Amino acid sequence: DAGVIQSPRHEVTEMGQEVTLRCKPISGHDYLFWYRQTMMRGLELLIYFNNNVPIDDSGMPEDRFSAKMPNASFSTLKIQPSEPRDSAVYFCASSFFFLMSQGAGTEAFFGQGTRLTVV
């Protein structure tokens, strides 16, 4: 498998424009996560899905942010309108739930990220 695939890798946009980030999770994974990474706030979980259903979106900063997962192989994170403070690296990650003799858990695999700059 090619791993988690994100596009675009880099995006520069003007304030007020709509931005759409895309993610293809690893086939067979049933969880998908969107994270944002900045120097000031570190890695923040924005939203996660289980079997295409949004489970927790409490990390989505404002109504300007929305995320969808129309099927098991595709998710989008949209920012409309974008602002300079949205500039960050956005990571998508996917994972699968597993049971082991030592316990149950998940292991998340991250995409390469999208570096967003809003000017």
Partner 1 sequence: ELKVEQNPLFLSMQEGKNYTIYCNYSTTSDRLYWYRQDPGKSLESLFVLLSNGAVKQEGRLMASLDTKARLSTLHITAAVHDLSATYFCAVLSNFGNEKLTFGTGTRLTIIP
Under the phi-then-psi rule, with left for phi > 0, alpha for psi from -120 to 50, and beta for the rest, what region is 107? beta
- Contacts to partner 1 from residues 56-75, by CB under 8 A: 56
**Could you say which of 7, 52, 64, 110 contacts partner 1 (CB under 8 A)?**
110
Which residue, 33 or 65, is less far from partner 1 as judged by CB?
A: 33
Locate 75 and state its tokens. Answer: 């998710």
CA separation for the pair 69, 32 (Å, rounded): 9
50 binds partner 1, rule: CB under 8 A: yes
Applying CB under 8 A, which part among 21-29, 60-68, 73-81, 101-109 lies near partner 1? Answer: 101-109
Which tokens is 28 given? 């067979």
State the pairing for strand pair 65-71/53-56.
Answer: unpaired
Report, in angstroms and rounded to the nearest whole number, the Rg of the chain calculated over CA atoms. Answer: 14
Residue 51's closest CA among 79, 78, 66, 73? Answer: 73
Indicate the residue among 2 and 104 with the shorter CB distance to partner 1: 104
Nearer to partner 1, 16 or 22 (CB): 22
Please say which residue, 81 or 89, places its beta carbon nearer to partner 1: 89
Q: Residues interacting with partner 1, by CB under 8 A?
A: 31, 33, 35, 42-43, 45, 48, 50, 55-56, 91, 93, 95, 97, 100, 102-113
